């Protein structure tokens, strides 16, 4: 009888220890998860900022103003533009052998 009691008491003690240590471990892991979640959130925000910066830099209006002001480009003047239908040019090239 005494042995059984001792065994049960030991079992209770071990169970209590396991419960407490598991709770502690769970809280540790929860803290870690939240840290990682915060990190993921920060990284996501960084990505958003980077994407936004990329979009801001590549807007057509910025590309055009950069082309005008930095590189000195200008829109083609329709009066001075010569449009080529490459299909026709290719056919003529094949006929005449002259390569543009």
Partner 1 sequence: MSRTATPIKKPRGANNISFAERFAGWRVQLVVFGLLTGFSILVGRGVYLQIIQHDDLTRRGEARTLRDVTVPAHRGRILDREGAVLASSVPARGVLAFPDQVEIDDKQVAQLAQVLGQKPADIKRKLSSERDVVYLARSVPVEKADAVRAMKIAGLSLQNEFKREYPSQEVMGQVLGITNVDDIGQEGLELAQNDWLAGKHGARRVMIDRRGGVVEEHGSLRAPQQGRDLQLSLDSRVQHIAFRELKRGVETHRAKGGAAVVLDAQSGEVLALVNYPTASPTDRSAAASGGLRNRALADLFEPGSTMKPFTVAAAIDAGVLRANESIAMTGGQYTTNGATIRDVHTIGSNGYASVLEIVQKSSNVGTSRIAERLPNELMSRYLQRAGFGRAPQTGFPGEAHGRLRAPQTWRPIEKATMSYGYGLSVNLVQLARAYTAFANKGQLADVTLFKNNGSGRQSRVFSPETASILLPMLERATHRDGTAPQSQIAGYRVAGKTGTAKKLHNGVYTDGKYVSSFVGLAPVSNPRFVVAVMIDEPSTGQFYGGTVAAPVFSQLMSQTLRLFEIPFDAPLPGSPNAEAVVAAIVREGN
- Rule CB under 8 A: which of 49-78 touch partner 1? 49, 51-52, 54-56, 58-61, 64, 78
Taking the complex as a whole, the smallest distance from the CB of residue 25 to partner 1 amounts, in Å, to: 13
Assess contact for 89 and 96: CB atoms under 8 A. Answer: no
Q: Which of residues 25-44 bind partner 1 (CB under 8 A)?
A: 27, 30-31, 33-34, 37, 41, 44
Question: Is the separation of the CB atoms in 93 and 99 below 8 Å?
Answer: yes
Residues lying near partner 1 in the complex (CB under 8 A) are found at 27, 30-31, 33-34, 37, 41, 44-45, 48-49, 51-52, 54-56, 58-61, 64, 78, 81-85, 88-89, 92-93, 96, 98-100
């Amino acid at each position: 009888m005494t042995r059984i009691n001792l065994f049960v008491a030991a079992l209770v003690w071990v169970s209590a220890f396991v419960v407490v240590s598991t709770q502690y471990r769970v809280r540790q892991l929860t803290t870690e998860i939240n840290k990682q979640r915060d990190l993921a959130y920060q990284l996501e925000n960084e990505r958003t900022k980077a994407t936004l910066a990329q979009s801001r830099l590549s807007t057509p209006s910025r590309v055009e103003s950069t082309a005008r002001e930095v590189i000195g480009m200008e829109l083609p003047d329709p009066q001075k533009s010569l449009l080529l239908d490459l299909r026709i040019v290719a056919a003529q090239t094949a006929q005449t052998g002259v390569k543009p």
